[in-house]
A = this chain, B = another copy of it.
Amino acid sequence: MPIDRVEPQYFGAGPALLPTDVLKQASADLINFNDIGLGIGEISHRSKDATKVIEDSKQHLKQLMSIPDDYEVFFIQGGGTTGFSSIASNMAAAYLGKTGEMAPGGYLVSGSWSEKAYEEAQRLHIPSKVLFNSKDFNENGKYQDIPEESLWEDKIKNSKFSYVYLCENETVHGIEWPSLPKCITERDDIELVADLSSDILSREIDVTKYGVIMAGAQKNIGLAGLTVYIIKKSILKNIEKATDEQLQEFGIPITPIASYYPTVVKNNSAYNTIPIFTLHVMDLVFKHLIAKGGVPAQQKENEKKAQLLYAALDSHSDFYNLPVAKRVRSNMNAVFTLKDSSLDEKFLKEAEAIKLIGLKGHRSVGGFRASIYNALSVQTVENLAKFISKFAEENA
């Protein structure tokens, strides 16, 4: 069978498009890796070849994100959802280990993913509270904006938090933090924990501002099945300091061993069997990005893509509705609706006729969503922008 494809114009929200070159290489390596006569998925996770994949992917990510030496990079299975649980229990332990006291985790809720993270902390009975929920700031009760710091910073003043959590980009609602909240990053005593599942490596960030970064692979960096963690080493030490008795006293659940960060790090992400094929694909994405100029080059492309797309929608504002406030529009997921929803089906059908696919909005929001992650080319987004303009002009 011939293994190739026409470059897909696929705007799905995730699992998402990967670079065709990466998939071709992965496809070959699945059968025979580096001519060892075996596929990369068939070898021991503790073999020389697998260890090199782990080391390489860590090294390439460190290079791409300029991760300083006082941070560790590791990988866990289970996606962001498992991260919601493990962040709450590990970070509560870290605070307990550091201070001997307990304080709630603070959640900045800007969409359904940060909401789910909060709900999981609550479900596990880990002390946690919502510092704001964006919905409360909109008259219609929907996620469409992130409140300015001045509106909620009082909530953290003079208060202690075991950590503060946010999701940088909310894929369902198309809302992205334009920058990190200063009232958090300026507090030395608060560890910022951020979910970068849908915007990691899409723009330059300053890792030193974060205590923990967590990112599921399946949008910008690979296949579903692995989650990247970047953690300040001091937090790892604090997690270990928490005793069973302290955890018990404050009702903090013991983290399952495969998600207990100190154990994962000590075993170089191979305490249990790491899905080495999935990690290899991630490393191929990292190498692909390094070759094309790293994060600055990718960021420039992403900004151009977002600009093209939003410009087309904005210039037909009588026809399209963009629910999200301009200041927090996502560069990864553009959410829009047709003012005349009776044209929805026609829009989708005509888009698909010219191979623009995966545009249907999330079931909870409706309308349309164009996810334009790293692997989507400027050309593809330009094609979509043109269609958006043409459709408006023909159907206005």
Contacts and interface: CB of A to CB of B under 8 A. Distances in A.
Interface in A261-311: 271-278, 281
25 contacts: A4-B31, A4-B32, A5-B37, A5-B38, A6-B37, A8-B37, A10-B42, A12-B43, A13-B44, A15-B43, A15-B45, A23-B30, A27-B27, A37-B357, A77-B78, A78-B82, A78-B258, A78-B272, A79-B258, A79-B273, A82-B258, A120-B257, A125-B254, A216-B273, A256-B256
B14 A44 contact: yes
A225 B37 CA distance: 22
A39 interface: yes
Given A18-B39, A85-B257, A225-B278, A218 B24 contact: no
Contact of A28 (B1, B82, B225, B355): B1
A248 B125 CA distance: 10
Given A44-B15, A84-B257, A258-B82, A77 B225 contact: yes
Nearest to A125: B254
A124 interface: yes
Contacts of A251: 248
Copies in the complex: 2
Interface in A71-85: 77-82, 84-85
A224 interface: yes
A41 B15 contact: yes
A102 interface: no
A57 interface: no
Contacts of A259: 82, 256
